[in-house]
Copies of this chain bind each other. A is one copy, B any other.
Amino acid sequence: MSKILIVLLDGLGDRPSRSLNGMTPLQRANKPGLDELAAEGVTGIMDPVAPGVPVGSDTGHLSILGYDPYKFYTGRGPLEALGAGMDLRPGDVAFRVNFATVGDDWTVIDRRAGRISTEEARALGEAIREMAAAFDSEFAFDFLTTVEHRGVLVMRGDGVSDEVTDVDPHMEGVKAEMPRPRSPGAERTARELERFLRKAREVLESHPLNRERVRKGLRPANAILPRGAGKMPRLPSLRERYGVSCVVIAGGALYRGVCKAAGMDVRIVPTATGTLNTDLNAKFNAALESLKTYDLVFLHIKGTDTASHDRNPSAKAAFIERIDKELRARIDQLGDVIVCVTGDHTTSSVDGRHHGDPVPLLIWGEGVRRDEVVRFDEVSCARGGLGRIRGLDLMNTLMDLTGRVEMFGE
Protein backbone atom coordinates (compact mmCIF):
# COMPACT_ATOMS: atom_id res chain seq x y z
CA MET A 1 0.00 0.00 0.00
CA SER A 2 1.33 3.45 -0.88
CA LYS A 3 2.62 5.64 1.91
CA ILE A 4 1.48 9.22 2.37
CA LEU A 5 3.52 12.40 2.81
CA ILE A 6 1.58 15.52 3.76
CA VAL A 7 3.59 18.72 3.43
CA LEU A 8 1.56 21.26 5.37
CA LEU A 9 2.63 24.84 4.72
CA ASP A 10 1.10 26.91 7.51
CA GLY A 11 -0.92 29.91 6.35
CA LEU A 12 -0.05 29.05 2.73
CA GLY A 13 -3.08 30.65 1.08
CA ASP A 14 -2.80 34.37 0.44
CA ARG A 15 -4.32 37.34 -1.33
CA PRO A 16 -2.86 39.45 -4.13
CA SER A 17 -0.30 42.01 -3.10
CA ARG A 18 0.42 45.36 -4.78
CA SER A 19 4.10 44.91 -4.02
CA LEU A 20 4.01 41.68 -6.07
CA ASN A 21 2.16 43.27 -8.98
CA GLY A 22 -1.16 41.85 -7.91
CA MET A 23 0.14 38.34 -7.41
CA THR A 24 0.07 36.21 -4.30
CA PRO A 25 3.45 35.10 -2.89
CA LEU A 26 2.75 31.58 -4.19
CA GLN A 27 1.99 32.93 -7.67
CA ARG A 28 5.13 35.01 -7.57
CA ALA A 29 7.53 32.39 -6.25
CA ASN A 30 9.74 30.48 -8.67
CA LYS A 31 8.87 26.90 -7.65
CA PRO A 32 9.58 24.36 -10.40
CA GLY A 33 9.26 21.42 -8.00
CA LEU A 34 5.76 22.25 -6.80
CA ASP A 35 4.70 23.10 -10.35
CA GLU A 36 6.01 19.74 -11.54
CA LEU A 37 3.98 17.92 -8.90
CA ALA A 38 0.92 19.98 -9.86
CA ALA A 39 1.43 19.17 -13.55
CA GLU A 40 1.79 15.44 -12.92
CA GLY A 41 -0.89 15.20 -10.24
CA VAL A 42 -4.33 16.47 -9.41
CA THR A 43 -5.10 19.84 -7.88
CA GLY A 44 -7.93 21.70 -6.24
CA ILE A 45 -8.80 24.25 -3.64
CA MET A 46 -9.80 23.47 -0.10
CA ASP A 47 -11.78 25.23 2.59
CA PRO A 48 -10.20 24.19 5.87
CA VAL A 49 -13.65 24.40 7.50
CA ALA A 50 -16.08 26.25 5.22
CA PRO A 51 -15.93 29.03 2.59
CA GLY A 52 -15.33 32.40 4.17
CA VAL A 53 -14.66 31.03 7.64
CA PRO A 54 -11.20 32.09 8.86
CA VAL A 55 -9.75 29.40 11.08
CA GLY A 56 -6.90 29.18 13.53
CA SER A 57 -4.05 26.77 13.17
CA ASP A 58 -5.68 24.56 15.78
CA THR A 59 -9.14 24.26 14.17
CA GLY A 60 -7.60 24.18 10.68
CA HIS A 61 -5.33 21.29 11.56
CA LEU A 62 -8.08 19.35 13.33
CA SER A 63 -10.28 19.63 10.28
CA ILE A 64 -7.57 18.64 7.82
CA LEU A 65 -6.76 15.58 9.94
CA GLY A 66 -10.42 14.60 9.69
CA TYR A 67 -11.81 15.83 13.02
CA ASP A 68 -14.76 18.19 12.77
CA PRO A 69 -13.63 21.11 14.94
CA TYR A 70 -17.26 21.99 15.71
CA LYS A 71 -17.42 18.63 17.43
CA PHE A 72 -13.92 18.09 18.77
CA TYR A 73 -12.37 21.50 19.38
CA THR A 74 -12.16 22.46 23.04
CA GLY A 75 -9.66 25.29 22.83
CA ARG A 76 -6.02 25.64 21.97
CA GLY A 77 -4.84 25.01 25.55
CA PRO A 78 -5.00 21.23 25.77
CA LEU A 79 -3.57 20.75 22.27
CA GLU A 80 -0.64 23.05 22.96
CA ALA A 81 -0.05 21.41 26.36
CA LEU A 82 0.04 18.02 24.71
CA GLY A 83 2.48 19.29 22.11
CA ALA A 84 4.69 20.87 24.77
CA GLY A 85 5.27 17.41 26.17
CA MET A 86 2.66 17.08 28.92
CA ASP A 87 0.99 13.75 29.34
CA LEU A 88 -2.63 14.79 28.81
CA ARG A 89 -5.49 12.32 28.87
CA PRO A 90 -9.05 12.78 27.62
CA GLY A 91 -10.99 14.70 30.25
CA ASP A 92 -7.99 16.56 31.70
CA VAL A 93 -8.44 20.33 31.85
CA ALA A 94 -5.61 22.50 30.54
CA PHE A 95 -5.08 26.25 30.97
CA ARG A 96 -2.71 28.52 29.18
CA VAL A 97 -0.76 30.41 31.84
CA ASN A 98 1.33 33.56 31.99
CA PHE A 99 3.95 34.36 34.56
CA ALA A 100 2.96 37.87 35.65
CA THR A 101 3.88 40.59 38.10
CA VAL A 102 0.95 41.39 40.38
CA GLY A 103 0.45 43.74 43.34
CA ASP A 104 -0.58 42.73 46.86
CA ASP A 105 -4.25 42.86 45.87
CA TRP A 106 -3.53 40.89 42.63
CA THR A 107 -3.68 43.98 40.45
CA VAL A 108 -1.81 43.04 37.28
CA ILE A 109 1.27 45.21 36.85
CA ASP A 110 2.94 43.27 34.01
CA ARG A 111 1.30 40.39 32.14
CA ARG A 112 4.72 39.13 31.03
CA ALA A 113 6.65 39.58 34.28
CA GLY A 114 9.23 41.97 32.85
CA ARG A 115 9.71 39.74 29.80
CA ILE A 116 11.24 37.02 31.89
CA SER A 117 13.57 34.71 29.97
CA THR A 118 12.74 31.13 29.09
CA GLU A 119 15.50 29.88 31.40
CA GLU A 120 14.37 31.87 34.44
CA ALA A 121 10.77 30.85 33.83
CA ARG A 122 11.86 27.25 33.68
CA ALA A 123 13.55 27.48 37.07
CA LEU A 124 10.45 29.04 38.62
CA GLY A 125 8.33 26.43 36.89
CA GLU A 126 10.39 23.68 38.51
CA ALA A 127 9.52 25.10 41.93
CA ILE A 128 5.84 25.12 41.05
CA ARG A 129 6.00 21.54 39.78
CA GLU A 130 7.51 20.44 43.08
CA MET A 131 4.82 22.25 45.00
CA ALA A 132 2.17 20.70 42.72
CA ALA A 133 3.46 17.19 43.36
CA ALA A 134 2.98 17.67 47.11
CA PHE A 135 -0.23 19.72 46.85
CA ASP A 136 -3.04 18.18 48.89
CA SER A 137 -6.19 18.25 46.74
CA GLU A 138 -8.87 16.01 45.29
CA PHE A 139 -7.39 16.97 41.88
CA ALA A 140 -3.89 16.38 40.54
CA PHE A 141 -2.03 19.44 39.19
CA ASP A 142 0.81 19.64 36.72
CA PHE A 143 2.64 22.63 35.33
CA LEU A 144 5.07 23.22 32.47
CA THR A 145 6.74 26.33 31.09
CA THR A 146 7.20 26.72 27.35
CA VAL A 147 8.66 29.93 25.88
CA GLU A 148 9.47 33.05 27.94
CA HIS A 149 6.54 33.93 30.25
CA ARG A 150 4.25 31.21 28.82
CA GLY A 151 3.25 27.99 30.45
CA VAL A 152 0.55 25.36 30.77
CA LEU A 153 -1.34 24.21 33.84
CA VAL A 154 -3.22 20.92 33.87
CA MET A 155 -5.82 19.63 36.34
CA ARG A 156 -6.91 16.02 36.44
CA GLY A 157 -9.45 14.09 38.47
CA ASP A 158 -13.06 12.97 38.80
CA GLY A 159 -15.40 15.82 38.04
CA VAL A 160 -12.77 18.35 37.02
CA SER A 161 -14.43 21.04 34.91
CA ASP A 162 -13.34 23.49 32.22
CA GLU A 163 -16.27 25.75 33.12
CA VAL A 164 -14.23 28.23 35.14
CA THR A 165 -13.53 31.89 34.41
CA ASP A 166 -10.18 33.28 33.29
CA VAL A 167 -7.93 34.61 36.02
CA ASP A 168 -5.79 36.54 33.56
CA PRO A 169 -7.76 39.76 32.91
CA HIS A 170 -6.05 40.12 29.49
CA MET A 171 -4.95 43.68 30.40
CA GLU A 172 -2.82 45.46 32.92
CA GLY A 173 -3.89 47.83 35.69
CA VAL A 174 -6.88 45.75 36.73
CA LYS A 175 -7.21 43.01 39.32
CA ALA A 176 -6.82 39.37 38.46
CA GLU A 177 -10.05 37.86 39.80
CA MET A 178 -9.88 34.42 41.33
CA PRO A 179 -11.58 31.70 39.23
CA ARG A 180 -15.36 31.45 39.46
CA PRO A 181 -17.52 28.55 38.29
CA ARG A 182 -19.41 29.23 35.08
CA SER A 183 -21.74 26.30 35.66
CA PRO A 184 -22.99 24.44 38.76
CA GLY A 185 -20.61 21.49 38.35
CA ALA A 186 -17.48 23.64 38.40
CA GLU A 187 -17.43 24.87 42.02
CA ARG A 188 -14.83 22.37 43.21
CA THR A 189 -12.56 23.05 40.27
CA ALA A 190 -12.71 26.80 40.87
CA ARG A 191 -12.08 26.38 44.61
CA GLU A 192 -9.12 24.04 44.22
CA LEU A 193 -7.63 26.12 41.40
CA GLU A 194 -7.79 29.21 43.61
CA ARG A 195 -6.02 27.37 46.45
CA PHE A 196 -3.38 26.27 43.96
CA LEU A 197 -2.82 29.77 42.57
CA ARG A 198 -2.44 31.24 46.07
CA LYS A 199 0.01 28.50 47.03
CA ALA A 200 1.95 29.11 43.80
CA ARG A 201 2.14 32.78 44.64
CA GLU A 202 3.72 31.93 48.04
CA VAL A 203 6.30 29.74 46.32
CA LEU A 204 7.09 32.42 43.74
CA GLU A 205 7.30 35.35 46.19
CA SER A 206 9.85 33.52 48.30
CA HIS A 207 11.84 32.08 45.36
CA PRO A 208 15.53 33.27 45.35
CA LEU A 209 15.33 34.04 41.64
CA ASN A 210 12.49 36.49 42.17
CA ARG A 211 14.23 38.11 45.17
CA GLU A 212 17.27 38.57 42.94
CA ARG A 213 15.09 40.17 40.22
CA VAL A 214 13.60 42.61 42.76
CA ARG A 215 17.07 43.46 44.03
CA LYS A 216 18.10 44.23 40.43
CA GLY A 217 15.05 46.45 39.94
CA LEU A 218 13.37 43.89 37.67
CA ARG A 219 9.76 42.88 37.95
CA PRO A 220 9.31 39.60 39.77
CA ALA A 221 7.28 36.77 38.25
CA ASN A 222 5.25 36.49 41.44
CA ALA A 223 2.06 34.93 40.11
CA ILE A 224 0.72 32.59 37.47
CA LEU A 225 -2.46 33.68 35.69
CA PRO A 226 -4.45 30.96 33.92
CA ARG A 227 -6.89 31.50 31.10
CA GLY A 228 -8.67 29.54 28.36
CA ALA A 229 -9.63 26.40 30.27
CA GLY A 230 -10.20 23.54 27.88
CA LYS A 231 -10.87 19.85 28.26
CA MET A 232 -8.63 17.43 26.45
CA PRO A 233 -10.85 15.90 23.74
CA ARG A 234 -10.92 12.22 22.93
CA LEU A 235 -10.12 11.88 19.24
CA PRO A 236 -10.45 8.47 17.59
CA SER A 237 -6.91 7.97 16.32
CA LEU A 238 -5.95 7.75 12.66
CA ARG A 239 -4.82 4.21 13.41
CA GLU A 240 -8.29 3.36 14.69
CA ARG A 241 -9.88 5.01 11.68
CA TYR A 242 -7.60 3.83 8.89
CA GLY A 243 -5.11 1.38 10.40
CA VAL A 244 -2.13 3.61 9.67
CA SER A 245 1.00 4.43 11.66
CA CYS A 246 1.74 8.17 11.62
CA VAL A 247 4.42 10.61 12.67
CA VAL A 248 4.53 14.39 12.81
CA ILE A 249 7.58 16.54 12.17
CA ALA A 250 6.93 20.08 13.40
CA GLY A 251 8.77 22.80 15.27
CA GLY A 252 5.75 24.28 17.03
CA ALA A 253 4.11 22.75 20.08
CA LEU A 254 0.56 23.26 18.83
CA TYR A 255 1.08 21.21 15.67
CA ARG A 256 2.73 18.41 17.59
CA GLY A 257 -0.16 18.57 20.00
CA VAL A 258 -2.93 18.27 17.43
CA CYS A 259 -1.11 15.39 15.76
CA LYS A 260 -0.46 13.64 19.08
CA ALA A 261 -4.15 13.98 19.88
CA ALA A 262 -4.76 12.14 16.57
CA GLY A 263 -2.48 9.37 17.79
CA MET A 264 0.65 10.32 15.85
CA ASP A 265 4.17 9.81 17.11
CA VAL A 266 6.36 12.92 17.28
CA ARG A 267 9.74 13.03 15.62
CA ILE A 268 11.93 15.77 17.02
CA VAL A 269 14.26 17.58 14.63
CA PRO A 270 16.42 19.64 17.01
CA THR A 271 17.19 22.30 14.40
CA ALA A 272 13.52 22.80 13.50
CA THR A 273 12.61 26.14 15.03
CA GLY A 274 9.06 26.70 13.86
CA THR A 275 10.11 30.01 12.27
CA LEU A 276 11.63 31.31 9.03
CA ASN A 277 15.15 30.28 10.07
CA THR A 278 14.21 26.62 10.45
CA ASP A 279 16.40 23.83 9.11
CA LEU A 280 14.35 22.76 6.09
CA ASN A 281 17.02 20.34 4.92
CA ALA A 282 16.95 18.47 8.22
CA LYS A 283 13.15 18.42 8.28
CA PHE A 284 12.84 17.00 4.77
CA ASN A 285 15.54 14.45 5.53
CA ALA A 286 13.64 13.39 8.62
CA ALA A 287 10.45 13.14 6.59
CA LEU A 288 12.03 10.88 3.98
CA GLU A 289 13.59 8.71 6.64
CA SER A 290 10.30 8.46 8.52
CA LEU A 291 8.55 7.23 5.37
CA LYS A 292 10.58 4.04 5.72
CA THR A 293 8.83 3.11 8.96
CA TYR A 294 5.55 5.02 9.00
CA ASP A 295 2.50 4.87 6.73
CA LEU A 296 1.86 8.61 6.98
CA VAL A 297 4.31 11.44 7.58
CA PHE A 298 2.95 14.88 8.44
CA LEU A 299 5.62 17.50 7.74
CA HIS A 300 4.60 20.87 9.13
CA ILE A 301 6.38 24.05 8.04
CA LYS A 302 5.50 27.24 9.86
CA GLY A 303 7.54 29.96 8.12
CA THR A 304 4.94 30.71 5.42
CA ASP A 305 2.56 31.80 8.14
CA THR A 306 5.23 33.76 10.00
CA ALA A 307 6.07 35.80 6.89
CA SER A 308 2.36 36.48 6.38
CA HIS A 309 1.92 37.71 9.94
CA ASP A 310 5.00 39.90 9.39
CA ARG A 311 3.16 41.34 6.33
CA ASN A 312 6.09 40.44 4.16
CA PRO A 313 4.91 38.93 0.85
CA SER A 314 8.43 38.87 -0.60
CA ALA A 315 9.80 36.99 2.38
CA LYS A 316 6.94 34.51 2.03
CA ALA A 317 7.70 33.99 -1.67
CA ALA A 318 11.40 33.55 -0.91
CA PHE A 319 10.63 31.02 1.83
CA ILE A 320 8.36 29.08 -0.55
CA GLU A 321 11.28 28.95 -2.99
CA ARG A 322 13.48 27.44 -0.27
CA ILE A 323 10.84 24.81 0.48
CA ASP A 324 10.47 24.09 -3.23
CA LYS A 325 14.20 23.49 -3.59
CA GLU A 326 14.27 20.99 -0.76
CA LEU A 327 11.18 19.17 -2.01
CA ARG A 328 12.31 19.12 -5.62
CA ALA A 329 15.67 17.61 -4.70
CA ARG A 330 13.86 14.64 -3.17
CA ILE A 331 11.05 13.88 -5.65
CA ASP A 332 13.02 11.10 -7.30
CA GLN A 333 13.77 9.43 -3.97
CA LEU A 334 10.17 9.25 -2.85
CA GLY A 335 9.26 5.81 -4.18
CA ASP A 336 5.70 4.56 -3.71
CA VAL A 337 4.41 7.63 -1.90
CA ILE A 338 1.34 9.79 -2.39
CA VAL A 339 2.38 13.40 -1.77
CA CYS A 340 -0.08 16.06 -0.66
CA VAL A 341 0.92 19.71 -0.43
CA THR A 342 -1.51 22.21 1.06
CA GLY A 343 -2.06 24.75 3.84
CA ASP A 344 -4.14 24.92 6.99
CA HIS A 345 -5.61 28.34 6.21
CA THR A 346 -5.07 31.56 4.31
CA THR A 347 -3.00 34.22 6.04
CA SER A 348 -2.88 37.48 4.14
CA SER A 349 0.61 38.92 3.87
CA VAL A 350 -1.11 42.25 3.17
CA ASP A 351 -3.00 42.66 6.43
CA GLY A 352 -1.28 39.91 8.42
CA ARG A 353 -4.55 38.24 9.37
CA HIS A 354 -6.13 34.83 8.90
CA HIS A 355 -8.86 34.76 6.28
CA GLY A 356 -11.50 32.37 5.00
CA ASP A 357 -10.22 32.08 1.41
CA PRO A 358 -9.62 28.50 0.29
CA VAL A 359 -6.09 27.11 0.17
CA PRO A 360 -4.46 25.45 -2.84
CA LEU A 361 -4.11 21.69 -2.76
CA LEU A 362 -2.14 19.20 -4.80
CA ILE A 363 -2.01 15.43 -4.66
CA TRP A 364 0.64 13.57 -6.59
CA GLY A 365 1.47 9.90 -7.01
CA GLU A 366 0.48 6.58 -8.53
CA GLY A 367 -3.18 6.24 -9.41
CA VAL A 368 -3.96 9.94 -9.10
CA ARG A 369 -6.02 11.45 -11.92
CA ARG A 370 -3.85 13.86 -13.84
CA ASP A 371 -5.54 17.18 -14.53
CA GLU A 372 -4.50 20.01 -16.84
CA VAL A 373 -3.24 22.38 -14.15
CA VAL A 374 0.51 22.96 -14.37
CA ARG A 375 1.03 25.56 -11.64
CA PHE A 376 0.59 25.30 -7.91
CA ASP A 377 -1.13 28.45 -6.70
CA GLU A 378 -4.45 29.69 -5.33
CA VAL A 379 -5.96 30.50 -8.73
CA SER A 380 -4.55 27.79 -11.02
CA CYS A 381 -5.60 25.02 -8.63
CA ALA A 382 -9.21 26.23 -8.68
CA ARG A 383 -9.47 24.68 -12.17
CA GLY A 384 -8.11 21.35 -11.00
CA GLY A 385 -9.55 17.88 -11.04
CA LEU A 386 -10.42 17.93 -7.33
CA GLY A 387 -12.66 20.96 -7.61
CA ARG A 388 -13.31 22.56 -4.24
CA ILE A 389 -13.35 20.32 -1.20
CA ARG A 390 -13.43 20.80 2.56
CA GLY A 391 -10.67 20.10 5.02
CA LEU A 392 -12.74 17.30 6.56
CA ASP A 393 -12.71 15.48 3.20
CA LEU A 394 -8.95 15.47 2.75
CA MET A 395 -8.02 12.51 4.93
CA ASN A 396 -10.66 10.25 3.36
CA THR A 397 -9.43 11.32 -0.08
CA LEU A 398 -5.81 10.43 0.72
CA MET A 399 -6.69 7.22 2.52
CA ASP A 400 -8.97 6.15 -0.31
CA LEU A 401 -6.26 6.82 -2.89
CA THR A 402 -4.06 4.42 -0.95
CA GLY A 403 -6.86 1.86 -0.53
CA ARG A 404 -7.49 2.35 3.18
CA VAL A 405 -11.14 3.44 3.36
CA GLU A 406 -13.78 0.79 3.93
CA MET A 407 -16.62 0.73 1.46
CA PHE A 408 -20.00 1.99 2.65
CA GLY A 409 -22.62 -0.38 1.32
CA GLU A 410 -22.10 -3.34 -1.02
Q: Mark A residues whose CB is within 8 Å of B.
A: 15-16, 22, 24, 44-45, 49-60, 69, 73, 75-76, 348, 350-351, 353-358, 367-372, 378-379, 382-390, 393-401, 403, 405-410
Contacts and interface: CB of A to CB of B under 8 A. Distances in A.
Contact of A400 (B357, B370, B395): B357
A226 to B, nearest CB: 16
Contact of A410 (B57, B379, B401, B410): B57
Given A76-B410, A400-B356, A409-B55, A382 B387 contact: yes
A53 B357 contact: no
A331 to B, nearest CB: 18
A405 B356 contact: yes
The copy count of this chain in the complex is 2
Contacts of A69: 408-409
A385 B378 contact: yes
Contacts of A409: 55-60, 69, 73, 76
A403 B351 contact: yes
Contacts of A383: 372, 382-383
B395 A52 contact: yes
25 contacts: A15-B367, A16-B369, A16-B370, A49-B408, A50-B393, A52-B395, A52-B400, A53-B408, A54-B400, A54-B407, A55-B407, A56-B409, A59-B408, A75-B410, A348-B367, A350-B367, A355-B400, A355-B401, A356-B397, A371-B382, A372-B379, A379-B385, A382-B385, A387-B387, A387-B388
Contacts of A348: 367
A266 B51 CA distance: 28
Contacts of A59: 408-409
A376 to B, nearest CB: 14
A199 B8 CA distance: 63
A396 B350 contact: no
A353 B397 CA distance: 15
B16 A367 contact: yes
Contacts of A15: 367-369
A371 B358 CA distance: 13
A161 to B, nearest CB: 21
Given A379-B372, A379-B385, A385-B378, A393 B52 contact: yes
Contacts of A410: 56-58, 75-76
Nearest to A351: B403
B403 A353 contact: yes
A347 B101 CA distance: 65
Contacts of A60: 409
B378 A408 contact: no
A56 B407 contact: yes
Nearest to A382: B385
Nearest to A386: B382
Contact of A382 (B73, B76, B356, B384): B384
Q: Which of A50, A69, A353, A394 has the most CB atoms of chain B within a 10 A radius of its CB?
A: A50
Nearest to A384: B382
Contacts of A54: 400, 405-408
Q: Which of A22, A54, A351 has the most CB atoms of chain B within a 10 A radius of its CB?
A: A54
Contacts of A403: 351, 353
A357 B400 CA distance: 8
Q: Which of A52, A56, A393, A401 has the most CB atoms of chain B within a 10 A radius of its CB?
A: A52
Contacts of A368: 15-16
A397 B53 CA distance: 7
A384 B45 CA distance: 11
